[in-house]
Structure 1
């Protein structure tokens, strides 16, 4: 049996040392991507461009991790 290795990353998005959002992802060896995004403080998140820019960078990183995993994936033979 071949294991489906994965990469996991967890990030808090901070504004003035306040955790206003959380972003995590798991990229599996076959390219599957699982993302969780939670806004903990809607007012703080929407009132600033900083967390939105951070989130965009984190999403780009997650998509790249998925692409990198898929590029080395070999479909197992049955």
Structure 2
């Protein structure tokens, strides 16, 4: 994975991307001030959020949204 050549502050990850694989690249994701994950996959996003916040040393860095059966998007709290 490349570094952040455009100095972007927000990383948006949209399903069906392998979210876990991207977020394993700790040095890559640390440069982003905010990460937004939009997915309809059955991943445990709460656990993933806690893990990422822990190794980046920042709280409230990640927002996750999932789609419910009716088609609307809900923020995972």
Confirm or deny a common fold (TM above 0.5).
Answer: no
Larger Rg: 1
Q: What TM-score, normalized to structure 1?
A: 0.28
Q: Whose strand proportion is higher, 1 or 2? A: 1
Higher helix share: 1
